[in-house]
Amino acid sequence: MRVAVELKGPLAVSRGEKHIILVVPPRATVRDVLIKLGLDEKHVGLLAINNVKVNLDSCLGEDVNLTVFPVVAGG
Amino acid sequence: MPGYQGKILRINLTAGSSVVEKLNPKWAGLFLGGKGLGIKYLYEELAPGIDALAPDNKLILITGPFTGTVVPCSGKLSIVTKSPGTGTILDCSIGGTAAVELKRAGYDAVIIEGKAAEPVYLWIEDNRVEIKNAGECRGLGCHATENKLKEAHGEDSSVLSIGPAGENMVSFACISSELYRQAGRGGVGAVMGSKNLKAVAVRGTGGVLAADAAKLMDVAYNAFKNDLLTDTNLWAYTDGTPMLVELSQTTGILPTNNFQQGTFDAFNQIKSESVAAVRTAKKGCTSCGLGCGNFVRAGRSAVEGPEYETLSIAGSNCGIGSLEAIVEFNRLCDDLGLDTISAGGVTAFAMELTEKGIHDFGIRFGDVEKYLQVPGLIAAGDGLGKELARGVRALAQIYGGQDYAMQVKGLEFPGYDPRGSWGMGLAFATAPRGACHMSAWPAADEAYGELDPFTIEGKAGLVKDLQHYNAAKFSLILCDFWALSFDVMAEMLAALLGREITAGDLELAGERIFNLARLFNIREGFSSQDDVLPQRIYSQPLPSGATAGKTLPEADFKNMLAQYYSLRGWDESGQPGQDKLNLLGLR
């Protein structure tokens, strides 16, 4: 399956790229994508598939957009 | 006295006098500094029931123990007074350089009393304190005032000033510094204006004593390296608060059209990437390790900002999707000396009253031309502005619309819809200064985080703990954007003061400070009857996005509030019990 990943803020800065296209196996989860990208879960905040909030165990679909926000504090 | 200068500068504007007093060391130990120590001084010195705009009120500018030291993110100044907008205790913090200059001048705080006969400003340079004529600055905006005083006293001086809004005592007038930094909420600028005090300029050349300077340097450096420059904090640098626009849109809590919706069709135009596209520079406060400030130029307007609260409350909440318009609104508010949250909130409320046919203020959602006229009219008290300058609560009392007057205790809502972040509703209802996101910010854990935002389970404890954390952190005066633990705070404070301090000590201090703020409000006549939310939150479901169909039902809210009181050791009327007060040393 093809997944378009968008990394936000420092996650994009530390990886050096904001938009990434990944090919993942069927029934892959958000967690699988984070592992594949080498992202530490503790630095990851809100996750959204096609602008809908999801969690680490959510399954991805074909051609979805996964947005990964950093943890935020303050306000 | 390590960490403190041991001196309070007391100014009486009526008498035109100043006196230096000893800092109360016992109070400093119990209430730390900044917010906490300011509240303690005000609680002890202010007679209950006074008019916040009368000479009897006091304006306290106060530093923290870390101010002027090597500890990062410690450069803000606290300002404490009784709010003219709410009648509650009011504390704000302001970035820039004023806190460090004041501390280097040799003072932990300045307590300003009375009222000058003519407009004046205060010039503090180490031991030299002068009350000077501010006639030439009368009517000037904050930017021109600051430039004028820096011309007179040097670029390296720091200036706190009010604009025409403060001079005219608009209930949500702010105090400005470094052109674009504000002590924004609750009308601190109106209190300054009521005293005929146009500005405070300060420069200091001294230092701050640390009990163990080498150890403090070591601890602060490790904290900087290991706890500050982390992926958990760096969003403040890479994006700053505009990142919250998309987070709020995704989670359905982005205030839109006076909280009638939790999503905004034009959110893409005001989200972080759009702000970054017009960004020209970054900036931080003195001693900052992050640099959250964004300088932007959009069209003909340039500003440091806009922050999320402005993008949401003065943007989507007014139906404004033009970033250029929001930047200009922000610039106008900064220069005129208005809080962008309350200015945006009252504008949105007037828009809804107009569209519902309740009263025609001549302004509708998305009307950019009228929207950009609002700050100037409010500051000058002209026409529509005279009405809006009263704030949302007063406007609702006159014209109606109480159910959707989005305020608590008279303070307008910040940019989070409690229907999609139930803990945020509790935080707004119980924050000492009214609807405030700085007392606790549970939205990060529930709407933006892993907790279920649509349950009351665990929220009372979460809000209580966050309130203690922020009370302690803002009394030490560490920046909101540094998500550091009590342990790290305690380690740095112990090195500074040269005595053992534990995380538990600081947590208890936070609880003590929060309860003292509550006691102040109770003394002013506030009770559980004031810990409420607008009816819209309880009964009007949001129409779209992740919060479609959601409310925060009143029964759930009341249950959550009761749990909160119980956890706090407060009775059903929201009054702290004797056991709790004894434990906190507040009897």
DSSP secondary-structure letter at B438? S
The ipTM value here is 0.96
How many angstroms separate the CA atoms of B140 and B164, rounded? Answer: 7
Q: Which helix (H) or strand (E) holds B62?
A: strand B59-62
How many angstroms separate the CA atoms of B427 and B404, rounded? Answer: 18
Tell me the per-residue pLDDT of B421-453, one tens digit each, with 9 for 90 and over: 999 999 999 999 999 999 999 999 999 999 999
Interface residue B448 vs chain A (CB under 8 A): yes
What SS3 state is found at B354? helix
**Residue B467 contacts by C-beta under 8 Å, 6 or more apart in sequence?**
B427, B430, B431, B439, B440, B510, B514
Q: Which of B286, B298, B279 is nearest to B240 (CA)?
A: B279
Q: Which of B369, B370, B301, B312 is nearest to B344 (CA)?
A: B312
Q: At what angle do helices B486-497 and B213-223 cross, to 10 degrees?
A: 160
Chain A residues within an 8 Å CB radius of B239: 8-9
Of the candidates B231, B233, B250, the beta carbon closest to that of A51 is on B250
Tell me the per-residue pLDDT of B385-400, one tens digit each, with 9 for 90 and over: 999 999 999 999 999 9
Chain B residues within an 8 Å CB radius of A40: 231
Q: Are B330 and B306 in contact (CB under 8 A)?
A: yes
pLDDT value for B233: 82
Chain B residues within an 8 Å CB radius of A13: 234, 238
C-alpha dihedral (B143, B148, B153, B154), degrees to nearest 10: 70
pLDDT value for A74: 67
Tell me the per-residue pLDDT of B501-533, one tens digit each, with 9 for 90 and over: 999 999 999 999 999 999 999 999 999 999 999
Tell me the per-residue pLDDT of B70-126, one tens digit each, with 9 for 90 and over: 999 999 999 999 999 999 999 999 999 999 999 999 999 999 999 999 999 999 999
Q: Which of B430, B414, B422, B428 is nearest to B452 (CA)?
A: B422
pLDDT value for B288: 87
How many angstroms separate the CA atoms of B112 and B11, rounded? Answer: 5
Q: Are B360 and B336 in contact (CB under 8 A)?
A: no
Q: Are B207 and B70 in contact (CB under 8 A)?
A: no
Q: What is the mean pLDDT of residues B134-161?
A: 97
pLDDT value for A43: 87
pLDDT value for B160: 98
How many angstroms separate the CA atoms of B21 and B45, rounded? Answer: 14
pLDDT value for B56: 97
Q: Which of B154, B115, B121, B157 is nearest to B136 (CA)?
A: B121
Residues 173-212 of B with CB under 8 A from A: none
Interface residue B438 vs chain A (CB under 8 A): yes
pLDDT value for B285: 86
Q: What is the mean pLDDT of residues B290-298?
A: 91
- How far does Cα B557 stand from its chain's mean position? 25
C-alpha pair distances (Å), B211 with each of B69, B409, B485, B495, B498: 12, 42, 22, 7, 5
Tell me the per-residue pLDDT of B248-278, one tens digit each, with 9 for 90 and over: 999 999 999 999 999 999 999 999 999 999 9
Contact yes or no for B231 and A71 at CB 8 A:
yes
Average pLDDT, chain B: 96
Domain-wise residue ranges, chain B? 7-203
Q: Are B78 and B34 in contact (CB under 8 A)?
A: yes
Q: Are strands A2-7 and A64-70 parallel, antiparallel or unpaired?
A: parallel
Residue linked to tokens 């105090």: B175
Instruction: Count CB pairs under 8 A between chains A and B.
Output: 89
Instruction: Name the band, by pLDDT with cuts 50, 70 and 90, for residue B16.
Output: very high
Interface residue B105 vs chain A (CB under 8 A): no
How many angstroms separate the CA atoms of B4 and B209, rounded? Answer: 7
| d(CA A20, nearest CA chain B) in Å | 17
Share of chain B above pLDDT 70, in %: 100
Q: Which of B411, B295, B285 is nearest to B346 (CA)?
A: B411
Q: At what angle do helices B503-523 and B459-476 cross, to 10 degrees?
A: 100
Domain covering B7-203 in this structure, CATH number? 3.60.9.10
Q: Are B249 and B271 in contact (CB under 8 A)?
A: yes
Contact yes or no for B449 and A9 at CB 8 A:
no
Residues 14-53 of A with CB under 8 A from B: 14, 40, 42-43, 45-46, 48, 51-53
Share of chain B above pLDDT 90, in %: 94
DSSP secondary-structure letter at B99? H
Q: What single string gives the DSSP state of each residue in B104-161? A: HTT-SEEEEES--SS-EEEEEETTEEEEEE-GGGTT--HHHHHHHHHHHH-TTSEEEE
Q: Which fold has domain A2-70?
A: Ubiquitin-like (UB roll) (3.10.20)
CA angle B156, B160, B163 (to 5 degrees): 130
Q: What is the mean pLDDT of residues B372-389?
A: 94
- How far does Cα B72 stand from its chain's mean position? 20
Q: What single string gives the DSSP state of each residue in B440-483? A: --GGGTTTSSSS-TT--TTHHHHHHHHHHHHHHHHHHT--TT--
pLDDT of B231 higher than 80: no
How many angstroms separate the CA atoms of B107 and B111, rounded? Answer: 11
Q: What is the mean pLDDT of residues B274-298?
A: 91
Tell me the per-residue pLDDT of B157-200, one tens digit each, with 9 for 90 and over: 999 999 999 999 999 999 999 999 999 999 999 999 999 999 99
C-alpha dihedral (B162, B164, B168, B172), degrees to nearest 10: -60
How many angstroms separate the CA atoms of B488 and B502, rounded? Answer: 10
pLDDT value for B383: 86
How many angstroms separate the CA atoms of B484 and B173, rounded? Answer: 31
Q: Are B416 and B255 in contact (CB under 8 A)?
A: yes
pLDDT value for B232: 74
Chain A residues within an 8 Å CB radius of B272: 8-9
